[in-house]
Chain A
Amino acid sequence: MARRSGLMAVLFTLALGAQAQDKSVIEEIEKYRAALGDGNPAELWEARGEDLWKQPRGPKKASFEKCDIGLGPGVVKGAYTVLPKYFADTDKVEDLESRLVTCMVTLQGFTPAEAKKTVFGGPGVRSDLEALVAYVTGSSRGIKMNVAATHPKEIEAYEIGKRIFYHRGGPHDFACSTCHGDDNLRIRLQDLPNLSKLADAQKAYTSWPAYRVSQGEVRTFQWRLYDCFRQQRFPELEYTSPASIALTMFLAKNANGGVYNAPSIKR
């Protein structure tokens, strides 16, 4: 709560200075982010995720320690930086979240419906998937993004993801690129990364998932896309759907070379 009031105070100060002092505003936001980063509650999600990873769970009483999320069974460190990728066992391109669901079904014996019962946490409801994602992604901190996109299905996902990024639709004619296709744009006071440009794409992608102060939850990349499309006035993006993975492939590959540094903290 103290943190939220602090944030409001900062935002208010920012609003006062916005017009003439854009540069100092950005510096203040950076300082604020750095200060928050010292005590990121995402650590709690990471710790719970590590427990979930190691616990035998589900009808088959299996842990995730035989789950291959990209670098071989049980390898967590660095795995997020090669995702999404093609997996021969499912014959599909998968992102981290779809891969976790796959392991919950094939290794642990959950039904797909059980595995996806609570994909996003909310007041009084915890999501195991958000915790697992926090643990796995946190294990890639400091490692460079290195998505291959060389398998024909990976190339196809990338190419389709790119078309989805530029797909204008809905009553407002918005595409992802409407807000994320040019330099130095802002919605209200919120800076928008230009995801078609290397430096911005790297900085944005490597900062997700994030603990959202305003929501009190760790939000995953699937959530980020789901909520962007909601604001875009599109229908509801289904969790781990092919389009969500294709778009993630486009954005992740464009961030190659960027040093991964999340879960982060965002307002």
Chain B
Amino acid sequence: MKKIIGSVVVLGLIAAGCASTYVSEEQREAQALAMMKTSFKENGQAKLDRLDQDDMQKMCSRYHGDTKMPKEVGEKLEKDQQAQIKYPADGTYLGDWKSGERIAQSGVGKQFSDNPANPNGANCYACHQLTKAELAYGTIGPSLYNFAKLRGYTPEMQKYAYGKVYNSQAFSACSSMPRFGHSGILTEAQIKDVVALLMDPQSPVNK
């Protein structure tokens, strides 16, 4: 009898302990955001609202490593993002590949140390191989060398490339790639230049 009472007391303590220390994932995320809000300060163009997350950012933060994102969550994110892509009103997707190459090389833009009056770059080479000439490329993204040569120079592929640069999440939920159009990093004309770098038969990407 004594033993049973003892066990009940122990179980009660365990239950009480759990009740007081258990913190849900949502609570941890809220704690992290609240702490970040007191730990960063705005500087130049980088305001504190950059710490706030949209649905995509929140879900992609929550699911990582062993915590696989449920398929339907990923599909919904892609659909939501696709609906937000603004394709060019004039229906053309190709700009100037030489300008696209400069944008692909430039890592300038959106940091608190950057002057917002200057045009932003896309820094494509930080993560992708694009041309034979540039050897200092990163590997976070796949190689894009011979992008159109391998996939075809069709208008459909041009539109896909435009959409992908505009909002990578629309095609691959939780991609590491910034949403260059969606988030206002590149202008429509700049995206067309980058698409030309990928799609123009004269571009070194396709040589």
Given A231-B111, A238-B41, does the pair A159, B50 have CB atoms closer than 8 Å?
Answer: no
Contact B39 A159 (CB under 8 A): no
Residues of A near B46 (CB, < 8 A) are 170, 233-236
Contact B39 A181 (CB under 8 A): no
User: How distant is A108 from chain B, measured CB to nearest CB, in Å?
Assistant: 25
The residue in chain A whose Cβ has the minimal distance to the Cβ of B129 is A19
A-B contacts at CB below 8 angstroms, number: 141
Q: Does A18 contact B (CB under 8 A)?
A: yes
Residues of A near B48 (CB, < 8 A) are 235
Contact A160 B28 (CB under 8 A): yes
Contact A173 B178 (CB under 8 A): yes
The residue in chain B whose Cβ has the minimal distance to the Cβ of A188 is B136
A-B contact sample (9 more), CB < 8 A, given A167-B61, A187-B138: A171-B110, A171-B185, A172-B183, A173-B57, A173-B169, A184-B139, A187-B140, A235-B51, A236-B41
Residues of A near B138 (CB, < 8 A) are 185-190
Contact B57 A164 (CB under 8 A): no
Number of A positions contacting B (CB below 8 A)? 47
Question: CA of A224 to CA of B176 in the docked complex: distance in angstroms?
Answer: 21
Contact B140 A242 (CB under 8 A): no
Question: CA of A167 to CA of B21 in the docked complex: distance in angstroms?
Answer: 23
Contact B110 A237 (CB under 8 A): no
Chain A interface (Cβ < 8 Å from any Cβ of B): 15-16, 18-19, 152, 156, 159-160, 163-164, 166-175, 177-179, 181, 184-190, 192, 196, 229-231, 233-238, 241-244, 246
The residue in chain B whose Cβ has the minimal distance to the Cβ of A159 is B28
Across the interface, A164 reaches (CB within 8 A) one of B32, B111, B169, namely B32
Residues of A near B179 (CB, < 8 A) are 173
Main secondary structure of the interface of A (DSSP, over half): mixed
A and B contact pairs by CB, cutoff 8 A, 26 listed: A18-B136, A19-B135, A160-B31, A163-B61, A164-B36, A167-B53, A170-B46, A171-B110, A171-B183, A171-B184, A172-B183, A173-B56, A173-B57, A174-B178, A175-B61, A185-B139, A186-B138, A230-B112, A230-B113, A233-B50, A234-B50, A235-B46, A235-B112, A236-B40, A242-B38, A246-B35
Question: CA of A181 to CA of B176 in the docked complex: distance in angstroms?
Answer: 11
Residues of B near A237 (CB, < 8 A) are 39-40
The residue in chain B whose Cβ has the minimal distance to the Cβ of A230 is B111
Residues of B near A174 (CB, < 8 A) are 178
Residues of B near A15 (CB, < 8 A) are 135-136
User: How distant is B181 from chain A, measured CB to nearest CB, in Å?
Assistant: 11
Q: Does B157 contact A (CB under 8 A)?
A: no
The residue in chain A whose Cβ has the minimal distance to the Cβ of B46 is A235
Contact B39 A238 (CB under 8 A): yes
Contact B47 A235 (CB under 8 A): yes
Number of B positions contacting A (CB below 8 A)? 49
Contact A238 B40 (CB under 8 A): yes
Residues of B near A164 (CB, < 8 A) are 32, 35-36
Contact B136 A171 (CB under 8 A): no
Question: CA of A190 to CA of B138 in the docked complex: distance in angstroms?
Answer: 8
User: How distant is B61 from chain A, measured CB to nearest CB, in Å?
Assistant: 5
User: How distant is A176 from chain B, measured CB to nearest CB, in Å?
Assistant: 11
Contact A186 B140 (CB under 8 A): yes
Question: CA of A196 to CA of B67 in the docked complex: distance in angstroms?
Answer: 13
Contact B52 A169 (CB under 8 A): yes
User: How distant is B99 from chain A, measured CB to nearest CB, in Å?
Assistant: 21
Contact A160 B32 (CB under 8 A): yes
Given A171-B184, A187-B126, does the pair A181, B136 have CB atoms closer than 8 Å?
Answer: no
User: How distant is B110 from chain A, measured CB to nearest CB, in Å?
Assistant: 5
